Structure 1
């Protein structure tokens, strides 16, 4: 086990009961008619869709596709489904992992952390973070179709409208930049969504939500008693209430209390996690003759033809199983959709990236692009944990005592019968968005004048998020806190100024890249998180949430009952120690002019390689002030239209 996640004591044997029960309920409640392998698109044998490389690279003809999509994660599943809607476009989707639709932990909303440190996780770690207590940080990244939509907290949030208008400005007038403005981009958000209205939320304007997309959203999932108390405490300290933080009106405020949900989730009406695999790669889509999906396909490089004035992507090489190598040919385009970590890694392994870095690893340079793997941005979160004297937490999910196991069996029965109860919790049950310069929250009499830059995308956009979980956790749940009940409040730095890099460790495509986000390397980031931490402590000690605090917790060094007593320097030290990823890496192949460190243009084409695109969160020009799943899905929806238009135009030119 990695030294950063050494557990405090051993887990009790009763957890095996929890795991076994989860597997049984998921298989019973959500098994599909037939196995995924029965659909012709989903291939366990790559030789049915690709040519095995044996004696020489030029010895076999290629199997050909119009578009090869590299990576079946959050964006890749969207692309494969949308592109294959046109029966004249032959599509191949390559995914290093396997299907998630029968994976218990990718089905039950509250179970996603059980994917951590398994065969379904890339098991990534950063280098030691010099300015964040010199610790390495664990970065969970799902190795499954659907990607990190299998492994997130299911919060449907699009970011602030100003974020996307800022994306336009960062394009510096490049042709096509204006299409990323919120007014236009919001059409793609609505395109992927089917919103389920609720009588408990008459305030939500359904006309602003999507009505016919493949992704189901709504106010579904468990609501803990503490969640309501958190929202009321937020209101008392000065956070505005909001019934919908996903419209053109903006994202500020705390999600409004009701008798039902407090935020929109990617949870279906029957309590199932909605991933991009389950939403887009349906049985009907997989039955299309023009779509093939190869799982367990680890892409090793993109192949290029460099004979013309500009290099062209002509195919992809991948490994499958023990040492077997395969190749496929892309007649029209190659699209890299492997996420903010692996997309730049694959580009660099293929010769697209910083020339000196590639040369140092003996990789021939196809395109010298300094921006590949640079400008890495991530949302940093700090967690304050508290002992819950009301015993209303999700402790039953941890299985650390016999009593918890009994509670779990009750929750399991409720979930089995109705799709509700604690197992349907998305864990992060309430969120709020604020600005660090809000005088109502940070009165000048208590806070010195802000001496750091405003990094928000506009006056109506936040730079801080707060959220509540009816459970406590340390190091992503890998450190045992004991079998008691806990709750936690969390603060997120939405607009960091610290930027890092993804770099190759070697030319071996099976070796993880070097991840260095350079957390808290600017005073700005520390200053905003110090304000955030003090706000969290104030919320936790405000009624009615304060009524849940168990005084016994003051004697536990792992908890934060006395955090509000710390001085400014001690809070800053705690921030550096506590900082963790919120699982939102982005911007490592950003959409910007080449001389501004950009990798792709506004049409998501790699600079200098007209038929190679990148489509995932790595193309964000800068990180959004909110959660990244919804914007990534919308980027993929838009990219599918861009690619279809390009193929159509190419065919018209050929026939002219």
Structure 2
């Protein structure tokens, strides 16, 4: 076990202003620097780059790709996973789910025997996810600004600012006439047409009646309206959604690796990506605030090897942490940035006692309902496209007013109950009121129904994933050892606020009603899951039975965020509007951990926007 003591956290003392000029840092070797993708530390160990990026996932490669557009800028990316771009589990988006739980997945343990998926491979989760390309509602992005300092509003963390950068990342192909016949639609004005990440409907888009029937039944059962395009900022609807795939390249997955790195890796000699190495900590120049990072320490990390040799690389300008919402807080804590009460017992000196590192964790939960069909053909190969997003009023129907009253009356109590996973009860009350406002006033979705044309259970022909989008329960990520190879403790605190389970159950009850509503009911012969495990009493089943079943059969959606939140310090923020870690001079966080609240969306499109915006903020700073 490696014990990180104070002396090992520090680079020899020197003037921070000189550090940032790189006057006391090792220089790059003469001649052509190492570039491209490598597993070897030769030519990297001990060298200096303008920027060092921790994590070669969705955000890390996006930032690196944009920074290295300037040939005078040098960037090192260090990724724990391997380069699996030629693995069909990665490039074949039709094979989604095959990589989950395997060597390409961090498979983070959480409580109750649950795990949370995360891509441990070049491209991160963008290399193994389902690829659904959606955005949240306008009000959800606008809410981020309200949690920042008033003086930071001009930075543009809102819908308008994010839309610009989400479009910048995207190369959208509008649906073909054949896809339009199958139900695909779009609003071209809200998409980018020249970005690196390809999004489109697939060649194998399902032609059968199942997807349109599901959307129509959802509308008939609840009144959810149809919209043409989930990218337009109005998520409370039913629609068909595209995926991050390249239609002109046989539907190959368009991951961050394939989009930002592959086209330039043999051209840009100013960018090197080191794979199969784990960043063990950030190296600091000083122990007084603000902290100045000089670089990183890292070690070999494969499926069979936890390296004992420590290597170093130095950053002339910045260290950018982009390791994801569950790894990023661990890296900060291992580096002495976090709650002193957590770090002290591990013999890690808290150089920066920033207590909310790893707190404010929010993760969505799901259940799956399955049914058998009436003998129809699938007429396609996927991926699936049909999605429905009901709001509180559509979920609870006649009980909506009482649920609104419950939320308004309970915020203070809920905040107090979750305070140990936040900065304070008062801070969390402010955040919860902002969250409640978008739920009640702006009617953003509380549930997503993701319709799957092929079920998971034997004999199932359709399945629908029901997941709760905006939990009030808060959790945390904390390291349990100074050994960087030991996984942190991930405590999601599932359903600790009772309203979250109420939403999960309401979603399941409405979903059962959708299954019994035409035209979908004409295609279904029987409900297989939960079936008789939750008897239908004519009212969709009792809440008590649904609660028992939901708690026994839920899973994590793998959309964790919030563990290095972009908020005012008084609310528990870890980074400011420029994504700089408070009380550091040159460390930024760029990944889902900076999002202060959940979105009613799949995250990838939004995180691309965050990373694109971050790259411009970094460029402007230098």
Q: Does 1:49 align with 2:27?
A: no
Query: Which segments of 5 or more consecutive residues in structure 1 lack a partner in the other structure?
Result: 1-38, 51-61, 129-135, 256-261, 395-420, 474-480, 648-656
Q: Does 1:212 align with 2:168?
A: no
List aligned pairs for 1:22-171, cutoff 5 A.
Answer: 40-50=35-45, 62-128=46-112, 136-171=113-148
Aligned to 1:222: 205
Deviations 1:2-29 (A, max 9, x none): xxxxxxxxxxxxxxxxxxxxxxxxxxxx
- 1:218 Cα deviation (Å)? 1.9
1:243 pairs with 223, 228, 231, which one? 228
2:444 pairs with 455, 458, 461, which one? 461
1:569 pairs with 533, 537, 544, which one? 544
Cα gap change, 1:563 to 1:153, in 2 (>3 Å): farther
Contact persistence 1:192–1:210 (CA under 8 A): yes
Contact persistence 2:169–2:195 (CA under 8 A): yes
Q: In the aligned structure 1, how far is the partner of 2:597 from the partner of 2:526?
A: 43
Deviations 1:464-515 (A, max 9, x none): 2222111333xxxxxxx33x23311222211110010001121111011111
Q: Does 1:324 align with 2:309?
A: yes
Contact persistence 1:100–1:277 (CA under 8 A): no
- 1:460 Cα deviation (Å)? 4.5
- 1:176 Cα deviation (Å)? 5.0
Further displaced range: 315-324 or 500-509: 315-324
Aligned to 2:393: 437
Cα gap change, 1:560 to 1:231, in 2 (>3 Å): farther
Q: In the aligned structure 2, how far is the partner of 1:287 from the partner of 1:500?
A: 43
Cα gap change, 1:85 to 1:443, in 2 (>3 Å): same
1:452 pairs with 364, 386, 406, which one? 406
Q: In the aligned structure 1, how far is the partner of 2:160 from the partner of 2:527?
A: 52
Give the total of aligned pairs: 545
Q: In the aligned structure 2, how far is the partner of 1:87 from the partner of 1:169?
A: 37
Q: Does 1:619 align with 2:604?
A: no
2:362 pairs with 371, 377, 387, which one? 377
Aligned to 1:265: 243
Cα gap change, 1:563 to 1:468, in 2 (>3 Å): farther
Return the TM-score normalized by structure 1.
0.79
Q: In the aligned structure 2, how far is the partner of 1:138 from the partner of 1:295?
A: 24
- 1:387 Cα deviation (Å)? 2.4
Cα gap change, 1:68 to 1:567, in 2 (>3 Å): same
Further displaced range: 586-595 or 547-556: 547-556
Q: Secondary structure at the match of 2:193?
A: coil
Contact persistence 2:358–2:477 (CA under 8 A): yes
Q: In the aligned structure 2, how far is the partner of 1:445 from the partner of 1:641?
A: 46
2:175 pairs with 178, 192, 198, which one? 198
Cα gap change, 1:559 to 1:138, in 2 (>3 Å): farther
Q: In the aligned structure 2, how far is the partner of 1:497 from the partner of 1:446?
A: 18
Q: Does 1:534 align with 2:490?
A: no
- 1:448 Cα deviation (Å)? 5.8
Q: In the aligned structure 1, how far is the partner of 2:78 from the partner of 2:326?
A: 17
Cα gap change, 1:519 to 1:323, in 2 (>3 Å): same
Cα gap change, 1:251 to 1:565, in 2 (>3 Å): closer
List aligned pairs for 1:251-290, cutoff 5 A.
Answer: 251-255=235-239, 262-269=240-247, 270-290=250-270
Contact persistence 1:393–1:487 (CA under 8 A): no
1:360 pairs with 341, 345, 351, which one? 345
Aligned to 2:157: 180
- 1:101 Cα deviation (Å)? 1.5
Q: In the aligned structure 2, how far is the partner of 1:517 from the partner of 1:169?
A: 25
List aligned pairs for 1:246-645, cutoff 5 A.
Answer: 246-248=231-233, 250-255=234-239, 262-269=240-247, 270-306=250-286, 309-320=289-300, 322-390=307-375, 392=377, 421-422=380-381, 425-427=382-384, 429-438=385-394, 442-444=396-398, 450-453=404-407, 454=436, 456=438, 458-473=441-456, 481-482=457-458, 484-551=459-526, 553=528, 565-645=540-620
Q: In the aligned structure 1, how far is the partner of 2:168 from the partner of 2:529?
A: 49
Query: Which segments of 5 or more consecutive residues in structure 2 lack a partner in the other structure?
Result: 1-33, 408-435
Deviations 1:47-86 (A, max 9, x none): 2211xxxxxxxxxxx3100100000011011011111111
Q: Secondary structure at the match of 1:81?
A: helix
Return the TM-score normalized by structure 2.
0.83
Q: Secondary structure at the match of 1:456?
A: helix
Contact persistence 2:393–2:400 (CA under 8 A): no
What's the C-alpha RMSD, in Å, of the aligned pairs?
2.4
Q: In the aligned structure 2, how far is the partner of 1:207 from the partner of 1:631?
A: 17
Q: In the aligned structure 2, how far is the partner of 1:306 from the partner of 1:552?
A: 62
Contact persistence 1:393–1:485 (CA under 8 A): no
Cα gap change, 1:185 to 1:472, in 2 (>3 Å): same
- 1:183 Cα deviation (Å)? 1.1
Contact persistence 1:593–1:601 (CA under 8 A): yes
Q: In the aligned structure 2, how far is the partner of 1:389 from the partner of 1:307?
A: 68
Q: In the aligned structure 1, how far is the partner of 2:554 from the partner of 2:527?
A: 25
- 1:564 Cα deviation (Å)? 6.3
